[in-house]
Amino acid sequence: MAEQAPDKITPRAEDYSRWYLDVIRQAGLAEPAEVVKGCMVIKPHGYAIWEKIQRALDDRFKETGHQNAYFPLLIPESFIKREAEHVEGFSPELAVVTIAGGQKLEEPYVIRPTSETIIGHFFGRWIQSWRDLPMLINQWANVMRWELRTRMFLRTGEFLWQEGHTAHATHAEAVEEVKRMLDIYAEFAEGHMAMPVVRGVKTDSEKFAGALQSFCIEAMMQDNKALQAGTSHDLGQNFGKAFDVKFQNKAGLTEYVWQTSWGVSTRLIGALIMTHSDDNGLVLPPKLAPVSVAIVPIFGKGGDEAAVREAGAAIEKELKAQGLSVVFDVRDHKPGFKYFEWEQKGVPLRLEIGPKDLEKNQVAAKDRLGTAKEFWPRANLGAHVKEHLDRFQTQLFDRAKERRAANTVKIDSWSDFKDVFAGDNSKFVLAHWDGSRETEAKIKEETKVTIRCIPFDSPDEPGKCVHSGKPSPRRVLFSKSY
Partner RNA sequence: CGGGGCGUAGCGCAGUCUGGUAGCGCACACGGUUCGGGACCGUGGAGUCGGAGGUUCAAAUCCUCUCGCCCCGACCA
Q: Which residues bind RNA (CB under 7 A)?
A: 1, 3-8, 17-18, 21, 32-34, 37-39, 89-90, 92-93, 113-114, 145, 147-152, 155, 202, 205-209, 211, 214, 231, 233, 280, 298-301, 305, 332-337, 339-341, 343-344, 350, 352-358, 364, 366, 373, 448
Least Cβ distance, residue 334 to RNA (angstroms): 3
Least Cβ distance, residue 426 to RNA (angstroms): 12
Least Cβ distance, residue 64 to RNA (angstroms): 22
Least Cβ distance, residue 242 to RNA (angstroms): 16
- Nearest CA-CA partner of 423 in 480, 462, 340: 480
If you count them, how many residues does the chain have? Answer: 482
Least Cβ distance, residue 37 to RNA (angstroms): 3
Report the residue number, 253 or 372, with the smaller CB distance to RNA: 372
What are the DSSP calls for 207-239, one per residue?
A: S-TT-SEEEEEEEE-TTS-EEEEEEEEEEETHH
Cis? peptide before 134, omega within 30° of 0: yes
Least Cβ distance, residue 445 to RNA (angstroms): 7
Report the residue number, 109 or 247, with the smaller CB distance to RNA: 109
Q: Are strands 293-297 and 349-353 parallel, antiparallel or unpaired?
A: parallel
Q: Residue 440 phi/psi, 5° resolution?
A: -60, -45
CA dihedral 192, 218, 12, 366 (to 10 degrees): -20
Report the residue number, 52 or 234, with the smaller CB distance to RNA: 234
Report the residue number, 127 or 344, with the smaller CB distance to RNA: 344
Alpha-carbon span 127 to 254, nearest angstrom: 12
Least Cβ distance, residue 370 to RNA (angstroms): 8
Handedness of CA 235, 238, 244, 247 (dihedral sign): positive
Report the residue number, 298 or 381, with the smaller CB distance to RNA: 298
Report the residue number, 199 or 350, with the smaller CB distance to RNA: 350
What are the DSSP calls for 305-367, one per residue?
A: HHHHHHHHHHHHHHHHTTT--EEE--SSS-HHHHHHHHHHTT-SEEEEE-HHHHHHTEEEEEE
The strands making up 96-100's β-sheet, listed across from edge to edge, are 74-76, 103-111, 96-100
Report the residue number, 113 or 134, with the smaller CB distance to RNA: 113
Q: Decide: 29 and 156 in contact? Cβ < 8 Å.
A: no
Least Cβ distance, residue 254 to RNA (angstroms): 29
Least Cβ distance, residue 368 to RNA (angstroms): 9
Residue 82, classed as helix, strand or coil, is coil
Report the residue number, 12 or 145, with the smaller CB distance to RNA: 145
Q: Residue 464 phi/psi, 5° resolution?
A: -115, 140
Report the residue number, 133 or 270, with the smaller CB distance to RNA: 270
Alpha-carbon span 10 to 438, nearest angstrom: 40
| Identity of the residue numbered 27 | A
Cα 248–chain centre separation:
38
Report the residue number, 146 or 414, with the smaller CB distance to RNA: 146
CA distances from 123 to 80, 120, 129, 180, 246 (A): 16, 5, 12, 21, 9
Least Cβ distance, residue 461 to RNA (angstroms): 26
